[in-house]
Amino acid sequence: MLFKFSRKFISSILPANTGVHLSRLLLRHFCSSSINIMEQNIEGFKYTGKDWKVTGQMKAHFDEFGYMIIRGLLTNAETLKLKEFLDKDKGMVDYKMDRDDGEGRAVGITVWNHPSDDILGVVARTERVAGTWEKLLGGEVYHYHSKLIAKDAFTGGAFVWHQDYGYWYNNGCIFPNLGTTWTAIDRADRKNGCLKIIPMSHKIGRIDHIRVGKQAGADTARVEEIEKVCPIIQPELDPGDALFFHCNILHRSDQNNSPNRRWGYLCCYNRANNTPYKENSPHPVYTKLDKLPNSAIMDCDVTDLAANKEVAAKRDYYIATPENSAYLQVPEKME
């Protein structure tokens, strides 16, 4: 309609065919007007410390592109503290699942459902992470689960294109009102398999997930078409940098063929009013999240989980088996 009208109008004032070209341009302008209004911020925003707040610009960027990068979300001291804690956290090894990437490699995944009082749980409960999600998702959120994704040097496996909501839909979350903060523990770059994302893919809606190799991934034929119209970005992150992304953003990552480990700490949130309706859902129903001030990370004094069994137990690890989890085995046909 718009195309026809503009062609007619423009052809009436310009030589033959010019109208067709111009009206196409006009149409393209209208379709992508939001992109023109707002430039995609690939460099990322900066964590501002004490006066941190989600600005209107950040929220508009997230709504438009489905993600935002926050540089230095964790300070150097906080990142070091988190890294040192993780390196000796036995739970990360004892409850690790090796997820086969179907290309001869595996990725280590450790998942837990509740944030405890150790530094991992504290980070997940801070205003700068959980509070940011409340602003991005527009209301109260709760912790849906957290995980460590460990891609070790030379051996770390790949993830195929997927939307998290491709899985979480099956868990019984009715709305795609969920999101993840992916925080780099080590530098994540192209050499060691950093995330690739497709900005704006959250606007496509949920794509059917099917068996792709040995993983559940978004329908490959459709992803190929999406890639033609929505350019992929591959944000490289330094330790402490974070990527906040919507649960319908298409993302993947390559194998780690480098000598550098690539560990990422992921905290996932669900809107409080989007509690899963399925009884045997793998991740929790609404559980009030006790948020903490941003200073709590440096104040956290739980350093040894072996000596603090109660803190460890509160995490409530998610233990997947091939029978119960798409992490380990994907049915021929997804539900």
Shortest CB 290 distance to ligand AKG, Å: 25
* DSSP letters for 94-161: HT-EEEE-SSS-EEEEEEESS--SSHHHHHHHBIIIIIHHHHHHTS-EEEEEEEEEEE-TTTB--EEE
Kindly state whether residue 144 participates in binding ligand AKG, applying the rule CB under 6 A. no
Comparing CB distances to ligand AKG, the nearer of 209 and 315 is 209
Using rule CB under 6 A, residue 264 touches ligand AKG: yes
Give 296's contacts (C-beta < 8 A, 6+ positions apart). 122, 125, 126
Bridge partners (DSSP) listed for residue 110: 148
Comparing every residue's Cβ against ligand AKG, the nearest one is: 253
Site for ligand AKG in 235-254 (CB under 6 A): 251, 253
Nearer to ligand AKG, 216 or 300 (CB): 216
Exactly one of 160, 195, 312, 326 binds ligand AKG (CB under 6 A); that residue is 195
User: How many chain residues are in contact with ligand AKG, going by CB under 6 A?
Assistant: 8
Question: Is there binding between residue 283 and ligand AKG (CB under 6 A)?
Answer: no
In angstroms, what is the minimal distance from the CB of 266 to ligand AKG?
6
Q: Is 149 in the site for ligand AKG (CB under 6 A)?
A: yes
Cβ nearer to ligand AKG, comparing 73 with 300:
73
Closest CB to ligand AKG among residues 160, 200: 160
Phi-psi region of 97 (alpha: psi -120 to 50; beta: other; left: phi over 0): beta
Q: How far is the CB of 111 from ligand AKG (least distance, A)?
A: 9
**Is the distance from CB of 167 to CB of 159 less than 8 angstroms?**
no
- 154-173 binders of ligand AKG (CB under 6 A): 159, 164
- Compute CA distances 321 → 43, 99, 145, 147, 195, whole Å: 39, 11, 17, 16, 26
Which residue from 267, 273, 52 is spatially nearest to 141, judged by alpha carbons?
273
Residues 19 and 11 sit within 8 Å (Cβ to Cβ): yes
CA 50, CA 307: separation in Å to the nearest integer? 33
Please say which residue, 26 or 150, places its beta carbon nearer to ligand AKG. 150
Q: Which is nearer to ligand AKG, 7 or 99 (CB)?
A: 99
- The distance of closest approach from Cβ of residue 163 to ligand AKG in the complex, given in angstroms and rounded to an integer, is 9
Spatial contact of 124 and 168, defined as CB atoms under 8 Å apart: no
State which residue, 195 or 312, has the beta carbon closest to ligand AKG.
195
CB of 151 to ligand AKG, least distance (A): 6
Q: What is the contact surface with ligand AKG in residues (CB under 6 A)?
A: 149, 159, 164, 195, 251, 253, 264, 266
